A and B are shown apart, each in its own frame.
Chain A
Amino acid sequence: MDHDIIQFGLYVPPHPHPLLSPGASEGYQRLRDAFDTCRERIENSDADLIIVYSTTWPSIIGHQFQANPNSEWVHVDDDFHYLGSMPYSFTMDSVFAEACVEKAKERGLQARAVNYDAFPIDTGSITALSLLNPENRIPATIVSSNMYANRSETIVLGKAIRDALTEEKRKAVVVVVSSLSNRMFTEPIDPSKDRIHSQKDDDWNRKILEFFEDGRLEDLSQLSREIHGQIRVQKVVAYKPAWWMASTMGQHNNYEGEVLSYEALNGSGGAVIQLTPSVGSIGDKEFDEDDVEYYRGDRNVLDQGGV
């Protein structure tokens, strides 16, 4: 198995508060601390690449991969411009971005690399890369979220990236930038009194976090449509992050999960979560949810924890 192509995966929120105003609330600070912990873990890993899938970079013409070797500009968020500007200078791995494009096309997807001065990198990607990789120690690429793509297209996108990782013999940290529940308050709030918008959103978020904590990524992937209907404001056709994360990291439940922080961000659910591929994870999981290529009979789940 090619376990080491994915060092681990992170699920982080897109809002700029942990970057721009961590001191505004205890919750924002806890999210910031969790980002800092993940930064240290990336530094201590063997990763040579960060791949960001950002739900705040929509695309229409297929799937776009950020390929500008030095993406530099000053970004300002549409809603939270009053929190300050977000200058950035990111090192992108243009060779890997091109490899992803090639692999995506081989799997029937429309894809292209984008390499333009002043390209507007999105709030979520800037927040994630600024906090997780502040010194550009590892190159990155950012993947757009096609607004029309649904499950099959998103799954194939993840597989194409996995193809590129395998062929290029890279070791990556996968970063999904997305809220859990994404309903924000529509009036200004006191950040110190921020809370999840509703009890229902909070209940669902906590259930999702249980799945993450158990390492049940494929189960979450299969729950995506239900999650979309229950706690996602219908801005796009589907809740895609779990699909992409599962197909990129491996479509199974064999992960060690850790929820480092879960807090409200202007009413939405913001969590910093780590998933690490495991070979020995057993417990109360569904072990027949693998991405099966060849059928080899029933599996003896009591004797075998690995995939």
Chain B
Amino acid sequence: MSKGEIVLGALAPHPPHVVYAENPDQNEPVSEGGWETLRWGYHRLARKLETIDYDVMVVFTPHWQTYVGTHFLGVPRFSSKSVDPVFPNIFRYNYDLDVDVDLSEAMCKAASDAGLITRMMRNPDFRVDYGTITSCHMMNPRWDKPIITISSNRNTHYYSPEVMIEQALALGRACRTAIEESGKRVVLVSSHSLSHRHFVTESPLPEDMSKEHIYNHSQYVWDMALIDLFRQGKMREAIDIMPEFTEQTIAETEGGGLVWMMGAMGMPEYPAEIYGYQSVIGTGNCIAAWVPQPDKREIVL
């Protein structure tokens, strides 16, 4: 068996608005579009993924929040409806997805061996979170690859961002070990926004783009500072400023997704591919990808 590898890592924000705007058959509400900058960026990334041979998508989501360790999906198939508790008016999505339980178990064991608290999620009634569904739908709308979801352990709330970073890095390294031993080709997905301050009101027509903008200039400047480090391939520096970034922008990075992915990918020193940046109800959302194989990298934006 050949050694497994990570073929791409993506920062893939999950505002349900982008699925709503796509009007897929799976989602009940109907829209007139909206958030094209993000959606077109996702389309481009999805097209790239069609040219890359991979076996499974591994998603780290902040919308499966666990306080007792890190949990991994452990049921082969989920078929249900996901209704966003915050935006039920725009996201009621019927999903039917497969899970690579073998790799999920291997990652869970590797993380446990590394000293982290872990648990497999074996309850077949469990509803997969809308963050996972949104990111996966936008990256692979055909849903023809199995996925794995990893929960977000909320160490930040209990200890500090620094503890969260250390544990997320350790989790990433453990996942990489399991991936390499599995012989599989894996796409990693860090499913979250950057700055994460929302507007608390909504337009009568949610997709009214005349109302959409970043919550405030400070959030924008911080987002750009981080994206600039992505562009320069300075991920060590990006992770180093993560506690400050997260605090200043109440960023969704607090869940540890990006840190986990960088830990798994060995802290890339090459530029990320940037597919788009746009605000959704005031939050800052960037689609970016890190591609380990040099001849597969592109300058997208």
Binding site for B on A (CB under 8 A): 57-62, 74-76, 78-79, 81-82, 84-85, 110, 112, 114, 116-120, 122, 146, 148, 183-188, 233-235, 266
Contact = CB atoms under 8 A, between A and B. Distances in A.
B127 A185 contact: no
Contact of B122 (A82, A119, A186, A235): A82
Contacts of A116: 83, 88, 92
Interface stretch (B61-69, B232-240, B291-299): B61-69
Chain B facing A: main interface SS:
loop
B121 interface: yes
A76 B123 contact: yes
Interface in B182-232: 198, 200-202
A78 B68 contact: no
Given A61-B201, A76-B123, A82-B119, A186 B85 contact: no
B265 to A, nearest CB: 26
B86 A58 contact: yes
B81 interface: yes
A196 B244 CA distance: 32
A78 B66 CA distance: 6
Chain A facing B: main interface SS:
loop
A60 B153 CA distance: 22
Contact of B92 (A62, A118, A235): A118
Contacts of A112: 89
A187 B158 CA distance: 12
A112 B85 CA distance: 13
A85 B201 CA distance: 34
Contacts of A81: 71, 121-123, 126
B48 interface: no
Contacts of B64: 78
Contacts of A187: 68-69, 117
Interface string B143-160: 000000001011101100
Contacts of A78: 64-66, 71, 151
A148 B198 contact: yes
Interface string B73-104: 00000001101011111001000000000000
A266 B200 contact: no
A75 B127 CA distance: 8
Given A118-B81, A120-B85, A185 B68 contact: yes
